[in-house]
Amino acid sequence: MAQHFLLSAKARTLSLRSIYAAGEESAYVTFCQLRWPETNGEPVCPECGCADVYRITTRRRFKCAACRVQFSVTSGTIFASRKMAFVDLLAAVAIVANAAKGISALQLARDLDCQHKTAFVLAHKIREALASESDGAMLSGEVEIDGAYFGGHIALRQRQGRTLTFVDTHEPKGVEIARRVVAKGSTIVADEATHWDALPAHYPTQRINHSLAYSLDGVSTNMVESFFSRLRRMVTGQHHHVSARYLGAYAAHAAWLEDHRRLDNGTLSFRALGLAMAHPTSRTWAGYWQRSRA
Ligand SMILES: [Zn+2]
């Protein structure tokens, strides 16, 4: 069987210049490879799973020989009913997946030379796909927990593991959240805030009193705090004002970037595209402007 595309040397680097130099057909093939990695880009019917498929090549569509359904590479994914060229969509994914300090819709619209509202929805769809990577994730081992105020926010970060973010206006809710996402037997590290006093009933807990020291005998919440400082730079630098409605999306984007910060830029881009192609059509963002006009 062919090597999975994401593991190939070719997947490690990707520049905007190379995306545009390779062109539309090459971008399309990349979409196929990441939509159908098990068949190395050969189409599989999204309805019945049949691989016996007719090509309607002029329109880049397929028809299933078994159930007769017509589909395209983006049918049923977060990019369903796309209007943008594949080359621009691939560029958008690469920009968002590599935006270490976040990306505003205005900036993305300038980069892609598209309308602001197109860029706004596109960036949110990509963020939704990135966030799905940690759906259902459980943290274990040593876990730092902290809240920071951006209009409400709680983050948990596993050392050598994932960063999970939750938006809640009430920081004491963090204990409830921890009980949902931190495995029993893990150690939680928290600061001196009194609402964390409820943690030791459920987990071995270490506390750090920030009025005395930021790290004492190896006890610190430095990792979760460094995440918050990066999120703060993203919010103030790119988005300026973030409504509570979108805060979760920006925080999840920041967490994804944080957890994968050591990966090559190509690996990040293709990983993001793989998530987008495995993610169902968005309930929030599909037809967003049509609905908001109504
Ligand atoms: Zn079918």
**Which residue has 């206006």 as its token pair?**
169
CA distance 120 to 92: 11
In the prediction, which pLDDT does 184 show? Answer: 95
Ligand 1 center from residue 52 Cα (angstroms): 8
Residue range(s) of every CATH 3.30.420.10 domain in the chain: 142-259
Ligand 1 center from residue 278 Cα (angstroms): 18
CA distance 165 to 252: 6
Ligand 1 center from residue 8 Cα (angstroms): 30
In the prediction, which pLDDT does 54 show? Answer: 94
Helix, coil or strand: residue 71:
strand
CA distance 269 to 271: 5
Residues with CB under 5 A from ligand 1 (ion): 45, 47-48, 50, 64, 66-67
In the prediction, which pLDDT does 172 show? Answer: 80
Q: Which backbone phi and psi does 114 adopt, to 5 degrees?
A: -130, 175
Which residues make beta-bridge pairs with 172? none
Q: Kindly give the parts of the chain with pLDDT less than 70.
A: 1-7, 151-152, 211-216, 290-294
- CATH architecture, domain defined by 142-259: 2-Layer Sandwich (3.30)
Ligand 1 center from residue 172 Cα (angstroms): 49
In the prediction, which pLDDT does 170 show? Answer: 80
In the prediction, which pLDDT does 164 show? Answer: 95
Ligand 1 center from residue 274 Cα (angstroms): 22
Q: Residue 134 in contact with residue 255, Cβ under 8 Å?
A: yes
In the prediction, which pLDDT does 4 show? Answer: 67
Ligand 1 center from residue 288 Cα (angstroms): 29
* Residues 6+ positions from 58 with CB-CB distance below 8 Å: none
Residue 16 Cα to chain centre, angstroms:
20
pLDDT tens-digit readout, 202-257: 999 999 887 666 666 777 888 888 898 888 888 887 777 777 778 889 999 999 99
Global pTM value: 0.90
Ligand 1 center from residue 125 Cα (angstroms): 26
